[in-house]
C-alpha cells in the first residue's frame, strides 16, 4: 500500500507533524529510532505547558496520544535509504522493509560532536550545556564557564553573564583584541590555559582542572558543539544543504519544503538555532504544507 506520508524521525518535530496529519485522516508511518538528540537532558525547559518535564516523558505522551488516530503508525525502525520515484518516494529500513509514500517529511535530527575532555561526555545535558534558555535558569547566580570551540563561543560568552559570573576557557586557542574588549565590557573572565578535566560529584560540576595544574570553580560549563545529521537521507535525496555555524542545515522554504519537490524537512536539521518549541512549530508547518500538497497537488 502506498502511504500518504512517511516521516523519518520520531522526535518533537516528527511527532508534531504526525499528529496534524493524523487529524487530517491521512495515512502516515513514522520511523523512530528512539534516540532523540535531547535524550541526555533530565528535563526540557521553556516548552509551553511542559516546563521541567523530561523529554522522554513528553515524547512518550505524544506517542500514546497518536494511538487515537487510526491512520498513523509509529514503528521502531531506522530508515537507511530513500529514493525519488516517478510520482512518490520509497524508504528502506535497516531491517529490510520498504515503504512507499506520496510525500516525505525528514525530521531525523542531529548528533552533537563534543570535545574529548575527561569528565565532559558523562555530564553532557546535565552540567555541560549548550542552550542557556533551556537550562540556564537552573544555574542562576552560580559560577559559570564557556568552553571555546569556535568563534561562536564568543557570542555565547557574551550571552551567558545574564545568568551568572562567567569565565571563557580558551582551551589554548588565541583570541582577537576586539573580542577581548567586548568580553571585558561584559565582565567575562578569560582563562587561556587548556582544560584537561572536569571535577565534581556524580554528574555535578564543581571545577575544571587546567593544564598548568590549577583549578577554576564552576558549576555549569557551556559549549557550542559541532553537529551532524543523524541520517544520510538528505544527501541521498540530493537536497540542498547549507553549512551554518552549528553544522549542516537542510535548506527549506517558508513551508519547510526542501529543494526536492515533495520532500519536507523539520526540526533541528532544517533551522538554526534550535529548541523544542521551534521543532514542534516546524513539524506543524511541514504537516500542514504536506496535507495541502496532497489535496491540491
CATH code, domain with 30:
3.50.50.60
The last residue of one of the domains, among 161, 190, 222, is 222
Whether 276 and 12 have beta carbons less than 8 Å apart is answered as yes
Domain shared by 93 and 186, yes or no: no
One-character DSSP codes across 212-281: TS-EEE-SEEE---EEEESSSHHHHTT--EEEETTEEEE---TT-B-SSTTEEE-GGGG-SS--HHHHHH
Q: Does 1 score more than 70 pLDDT?
A: no
Which residues lie across from 89 on neighbouring strands?
84, 101
**Domain extent for 247:** 2-112+226-296
Domain shared by 100 and 20, yes or no: yes
The residue that leads in pLDDT, 2 or 110, is: 110
pLDDT value at residue 65: 97
List pLDDT tens digits, range 38-72: 999 999 999 999 999 999 999 999 999 999 999 99
Domain shared by 18 and 165, yes or no: no
CA distances from 36 to 56, 58, 160, 208 (A): 9, 12, 26, 29
Whether 241 and 234 have beta carbons less than 8 Å apart is answered as yes
Name the grid cell of 118: 575527561
pLDDT value at residue 199: 98
Domain shared by 212 and 242, yes or no: no
Domain shared by 107 and 235, yes or no: yes
Domain shared by 6 and 82, yes or no: yes
Number of domains in the chain: 2
How far apart are the C-alpha atoms of 183 and 240, rounded to whole Å?
36
Burial of 183 (0-12, 13-18, 19+ CB in 10 A): buried
pLDDT value at residue 139: 97
DSSP label at residue 127: T
Could you tell me which residues come within 8 angstroms of residue 295 by beta carbon, excluding any fewer than 6 positions away? none
Domain shared by 139 and 6, yes or no: no
Whether 153 and 147 have beta carbons less than 8 Å apart is answered as yes
pLDDT value at residue 297: 81
Whether 99 and 113 have beta carbons less than 8 Å apart is answered as no
Across the range 26-40, mean pLDDT stands at 95
Domain shared by 106 and 241, yes or no: yes
Domain shared by 148 and 93, yes or no: no
What is the overall mean pLDDT for the chain? 96
Domain shared by 100 and 231, yes or no: yes
The predicted model scores a pTM of: 0.95
pLDDT value at residue 83: 96
Domain shared by 17 and 72, yes or no: yes
The last residue of one of the domains, among 187, 202, 222, is 222
Domain shared by 198 and 281, yes or no: no
Could you tell me which residues come within 8 angstroms of residue 184 by beta carbon, excluding any fewer than 6 positions away? none
The last residue of one of the domains, among 201, 222, 243, is 222
List pLDDT tens digits, range 118-172: 999 999 999 999 999 999 999 999 999 999 999 999 999 999 999 999 999 999 9
Amino acid at each position: 500500500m502506498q502511504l500518504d506520508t512517511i516521516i523519518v524521525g520520531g522526535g518533537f518535530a516528527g511527532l508534531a507533524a504526525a499528529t496534524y496529519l493524523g487529524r487530517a485522516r491521512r495515512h502516515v508511518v513514522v520511523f523512530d529510532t528512539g534516540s532523540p538528540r535531547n535524550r541526555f537532558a533530565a528535563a526540557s525547559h521553556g516548552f509551553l505547558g511542559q516546563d521541567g518535564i523530561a523529554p522522554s516523558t513528553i515524547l512518550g505522551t505524544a506517542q500514546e496520544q497518536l494511538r487515537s488516530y487510526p491512520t498513523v503508525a509509529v514503528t521502531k525502525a531506522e530508515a537507511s535509504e530513500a529514493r525519488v520515484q516517478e510520482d512518490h518516494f520509497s524508504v528502506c529500513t535497516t531491517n529490510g522493509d520498504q515503504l512507499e509514500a506520496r510525500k516525505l517529511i525528514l525530521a531525523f535530527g542531529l548528533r552533537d560532536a563534543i570535545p574529548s575532555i575527561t569528565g565532559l561526555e558523562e555530564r553532557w545535558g546535565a552540567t555541560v550545556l549548550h542552550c542557556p534558555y533551556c537550562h540556564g535558569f537552573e544555574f542562576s547566580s552560580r559560577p559559570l564557564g564557556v568552553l571555546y570551540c569556535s568563534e561562536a563561543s564568543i557570542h555565547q560568552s557574551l550571552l551567558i553573564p545574564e545568568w551568572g559570573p562567567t569565565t571563557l576557557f580558551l582551551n589554548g586557542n588565541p583570541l582577537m583584541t576586539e573580542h577581548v574588549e567586548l568580553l571585558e565590557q561584559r565582565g567575562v573572565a578569560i582563562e587561556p590555559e587548556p582544560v584537561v578535566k572536569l571535577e565534581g560529584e556524580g554528574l555535578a560540576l564543581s571545577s575544571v582542572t587546567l593544564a598548568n595544574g590549577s583549578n577554576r570553580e564552576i558549576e555549569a560549563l557551556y559549549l557550542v558543539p559541532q553537529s551532524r545529521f543523524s541520517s544520510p537521507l538528505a544527501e541521498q535525496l540530493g537536497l540542498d544543504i547549507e553549512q551554518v555555524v552549528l553544522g549542516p542545515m537542510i535548506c527549506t522554504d517558508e513551508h519547510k519544503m526542501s529543494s526536492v519537490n515533495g520532500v519536507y524537512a523539520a526540526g533541528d536539521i532544517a533551522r538554526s538555532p534550535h529548541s523544542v518549541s521551534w521543532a514542534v512549530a516546524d513539524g506543524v508547518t511541514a504537516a500542514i504544507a504536506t496535507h495541502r500538497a496532497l489535496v491540491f497537488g
